[in-house]
Structure 1
């Protein structure tokens, strides 16, 4: 088992400590903003950087992945709990804690049952659409904050947009100035000096300007008093009905984190050539989320942006996360007074710029160029998430994933091998090619397992190939290349039985080649192979006429 803080040596200790200070500068302002997005006090975002971060860093197999609440998780918390309790209330905070606990348990179950493969159901178009919808909803809330316009941050997207439009005459000028300058510094700084912690600089300078200019009295909203002290440990106490009501949103949080977190973990492991364990990473996320729920915080996911920042800083261990935990604890113990005067427009600018890449504009353009169908999947997921809600969005994401799988599986490559051993273009059920392998013989290759989605497609394509080649007058033998047929189900077996009856009625013999040994017992049980026995020459079953004709021709 990999030891905690794997990769840490005396040679890289200083570099890792410096990276940890950089992580503090990045994470603290972002987590304050994410807590506000979630409808929780700033302390909820800061508490997530202490105990959950330590637990995760000591257990995870990835040496670089940073665990923390992120924009998508915060938006999911707000949208899912907002309809169950009033944002800012004690019940709301307790439900956010319970949601994190449920998510943690789900992570642990997935780890024990080795269910990380379920993340593969969230393809890139689905993730781009889902996260993009959440990001645009977040961005709208931050724009309102930057303009000094009061809107219901827990409302629907259309309500937020309407609130901003109707509130334009009431724009707070100083809020607009602070946010405009903050956005300019963040964007230009990221372009020309990306290693500098611009978010921290913006937060400090904006706070000094707000205090020096007395801007709070001129209408600029500030963060307000942040309670001092370490995380408050307590177990969420709710009715069973409320616990059950939180399960769907906890599942959504879990699946999004699994899909993104495992992908990022694996990619950095491969990039820097160290081993990662998906199931151990799931276990780490589970413990971190339970710790988060028990320490007055909310759901913890994977932070792609912070992980990338640590990679750029040269970090190759989890030590920066431990430095972050210590630094945040010291801030909560001795420095909360420094946070009270942070202007909300600056926080809005920091979060707004951070979520811009999550809109997926470039990814959508790439999808449009590469595959319109996958673009449509991403767009549908984006629109449902934006206009209906995050939970319907994740449900639609899974339905679209299944539709995508079924659509691709229902049109497998079905080839007729021609005389030069090259296959024709894949057959369509309604487009016979007229190709023939040898006089009187057609060899058809099915490049996928046979199951309910493609069984009828395969049999129809074979009939069309035979008919297109001249029917029984020109084709007396059909050979099915079974190399890629690794499985079969009942529905496909019934369709195959219909094909066999049709071939018998037409007087066409049926033979098989290259049957996989591992698949043979199941193919026999389902009646795909009509006789049992071994075939030394790889042809199965024992009607050799087709192969003899093919061999003679060659």
Structure 2
């Protein structure tokens, strides 16, 4: 057992040096500066006291630095997961109450346990059932939901909180005239400053700048802005160790939200980790190890009052751009959060909530992926509609139903595509030994008595009837002149028992009609399955060929040169 694979920090820590630390130090400080105001803001999205956003930035970061296979991914509180937490927990308890906090922490333990189990049993492939269009539609919709939910803090009006956009918009429409002038001005100016600084240079700590400006304004000119809501007291000190309260009724009710957080959190992490991996050649991402790292981060975090956390797109990108080379950058960020929790929380007393709302709104609206939607419209209409349906379902029905509909549609499309794969009749390219699709190459020679049939997929129970029907259609088009069928099996990489029985039945049927049936380009494992099924009781082993042209040549001339060599090769291989 390779201990370095289980604990990836051992891959880089023994060779750690001063030159690496310089980059990690700068990156860690930069991310820490951004993380502190974001953590406070995202905790408010989750319906939790601000300090719980900082708790999420402690133990989870340490655990990921030790067990994560990516050296630059930044773990902690994120907007999307925070809203999902609020959506799930708000149905069970009043936001901000002790019961609400306890349930959110229990949710972190559940999410971490599921992620860890999936990683141990190498179940990372499950995430493949969420296609990219589904992810794009889901994340874009959630970004809008998060942003519109923050309008209550941006305008100083107690709008309804919901994960259904039409509910929020309806309430905004009825109450927008009650907006708070001072709160709105501070919020909109903060958003404008963030946007301007982001366009100048993304490395500028724009969130910290507006936080400092907001605090200074409220501290020294607070009397003129007494109607502006501020964060007020944030407790100092570190979180105490404690085991989350295990209530099995609550666990049962939280399970759908926990599974959603597992999938979304893993997708976020893998997406950013893969994009960062492509920019270097020092390490490789291991998906199942990422699940284990995320699981341990959330499990350990729940023992220190953290709610579910995952990787942040923005902080991870800034971490890489700022020179982070290893997980030491994350540990530097942890030190900054520790210093803040121990000594600096009183400084945030006068922080306006509208400033936090501006930080969140600018961050999440950037996740609405219009560029990807345009690309899908041009590249693949089916994927575009899949993205759009997931987007609308999430916006209008809620996050839980959005993810269910997205996964369901992905599976339906997967089944549809695998049950109706591409098939083609091949013709001979003039003056060559190659056979190509007659619908793509007009010059190919199609012979009346020969049908060369290509099937571009594995042959199994879901598409065996489709194989037979399409083959029969092409045979009917040939008419009574047909004397030879050649199955080009190069694209068939697997065949199950249903496919095998269908092939045997078809071969027998063609024999009764005095039509020869040859196999060409059959892969070794598929050929083994054919032989085990008893196909050689129906046709001779000499009816298997390496290439289509050899099969056709044998039929026309009786030339056994290639065929006998191949038959001998098959005997030796078996």
CA separation in 1, counterparts of 2:536 and 2:349?
76
* Displacement of 1:309: 0.6
| TM-fit CA distance, 1:520 | 2.3
258, 272, 281: which one aligns with 2:290: 281
- Provide the secondary structure at the position in 1 that maps to 2:519: strand
Q: Which moved more, 1:195-204 or 1:378-387?
A: 378-387
Is 39-48 or 440-449 further displaced after alignment?
Answer: 440-449
Residues 534 and 478 of structure 1: is their aligned pair in 2 closer, same or farther, counting only changes over 3 Å?
A: closer
Residue 530 (structure 1) shift: 5.1
Does 2:306 align with 1:293? no
Secondary structure of the residue aligned to 2:18 is coil
Q: Give yes or no for the alignment of 1:51 onto 2:59.
A: yes
Runs of 4+ in 1 over 6 A off after TM superposition: 433-436
Structure 1 residue 198: Cα displacement:
0.6
Please show how residues 403-442 of structure 1 align to structure 2 within 5 Å: 403-420=412-429, 421-424=434-437, 437-438=446-447, 440-442=449-451
1:508 and 2:521 equivalent? no
RMSD over aligned CA atoms reads 2.6
Residue 20 (structure 2) aligns with: 12
- What SS is found at the alignment partner of 1:306? helix
Conserved 8 A contact 2:111-2:261? yes
Q: Does 1:482 align with 2:495?
A: no
Confirm or deny that 1:449 pairs with 2:455.
no
Structure 1 window deviating more from structure 2 (345-354 vs 303-312): it is 303-312
The answer as to whether partners of 2:83 and 2:146 remain within 8 angstroms in 1 is: yes
In structure 2, do the counterparts of structure 1 residues 245 and 55 end up closer, same or farther at CA, with 3 Å as the change threshold? same
User: 8 Å contact 1:413–1:426 — kept in the other structure?
Assistant: no
Extract unaligned runs of 5+ from structure 2: 563-574
- The offset of 1:22, in angstroms, is 0.5
- Rounded to whole Å, the distance in 1 between the matches of 2:192 and 2:84 is 28
Per the TM alignment, residue 13 of structure 1 is displaced from its structure 2 partner at its CA by 1.6
Q: Distance in 1 between matches of 2:116 and 2:421?
A: 36
Matched residues in 1 for 2:9 and 2:272: separation?
20
Q: Residue deviations 1:298-327, cap 9 Å, x none?
A: 111111111111111121211221111111
The correspondence of residues 231-380 of structure 1 with structure 2, limited to 5 A, is 231-276=239-284, 277-380=286-389
Pair 1:530–1:232, CA change in 2 (3 A): farther
Does residue 1:548 correspond to 2:561, yes or no?
no
CA distance, structure 2, for counterparts of residue 464 and residue 175 of structure 1: 70
**1:109 pairs with 2:82:** no
**Aligned length, in residue pairs:** 544
2:177 is the alignment partner of 1:164? no
Asked whether the 8 Å contact 1:94–1:237 carries over to 2, the reply is yes
Contact 2:519 2:544 in 1 (8 A): no
Match of 2:390 in 1: 381
Alignment of 1:16-95 (within 5 A): 16-95=24-103
Work out whether residues 160 and 168 of structure 2, in 8 Å CA contact, stay in contact via their aligned partners in 1: yes
> Would you say the 8 A contact 1:472–1:507 is kept in 2?
no
What's the TM-score, normalizing by structure 1?
0.92
TM-aligned CA deviation for residue 461 of structure 1: 1.7
5+ residue gaps, structure 1, are: 428-432
Q: TM-score, normalised by structure 2?
A: 0.89
Task: Decide whether the 8 Å contact of 2:210 with 2:355 is kept in 1.
Answer: yes
**Per-residue deviation, 1:368:** 1.7
Q: Distance in 2 between matches of 1:216 and 1:452?
A: 74
The structural deviation recorded for 1:109 is 1.2
SS in 2 for 1:416: strand
